[in-house]
């Protein structure tokens, strides 16, 4: 059974019932790819926090001051790659230190690792 169809240009074409193939234009292919990428991004955003929740807890963020240590050396040893000035300020805030003096054996709470 043949069905006649008229396109925008007025040309007639025939398509058999049930035998037509789906053909996507370039715009249609772009739309499908964009939809797929947005769906994949949404899935990653939903599952990413869950992947961190199931892992073992990290090491206790506490440092014991060794003889000869300063807040600078503690910051560099336990939190490398971070700005030492900001890290020292955070350590002082977390531990209620009025100045930069630390003593051997003192336990210092450290900022969470990011």
**Ramachandran sector of residue 19 (left: φ over 0; alpha: ψ -120 to 50; beta: rest):** alpha
- d(CA 114, CA 83) in angstroms, rounded, equals 13
Looking at residue 6, its pLDDT comes to: 52
pLDDT number for residue 10: 47
In the predicted model, is pLDDT for residue 29 greater than 60? Answer: yes
Integer angstrom CA distances of residue 57 from 50, 52, 54: 14, 10, 9
Report pLDDT digits (tens) over 66-108. 999 999 999 999 989 899 999 999 999 999 999 999 999 999 9
Helix or strand run (H / E) with residue 3? strand 2-6
Residue 100's nearest CA partner among 64, 75, 81, 77 is 75
- Average pLDDT on 11-27 reads 69
8-33 mean pLDDT: 73
Q: How many CA atoms lie within 13 A of 60 on its CB side?
A: 6
For the chain, how far is it from start to end, CA to CA, in angstroms? 67
Position 30 pLDDT exceeds 90? yes
Instruction: Report the pLDDT value the prediction gives residue 113, as an integer from 0 to 100.
Output: 72
pLDDT on residue 43: 87
């Amino acid at each position: 059974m043949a069905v006649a169809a008229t396109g925008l240009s007025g040309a007639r074409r025939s398509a058999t019932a049930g035998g037509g193939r789906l053909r996507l234009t370039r715009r249609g292919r772009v739309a499908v790819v964009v939809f797929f990428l947005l769906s994949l991004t949404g899935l990653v955003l939903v599952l990413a926090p869950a992947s961190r929740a199931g892992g073992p807890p990290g090491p206790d963020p506490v440092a014991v001051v060794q003889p000869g240590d300063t807040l600078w050396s503690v910051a560099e040893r336990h939190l490398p790659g971070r700005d030492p000035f900001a890290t020292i300020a955070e350590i002082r805030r977390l531990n209620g230190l009025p100045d930069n003096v630390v003593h051997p054996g003192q336990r210092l709470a450290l900022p969470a690792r990011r």
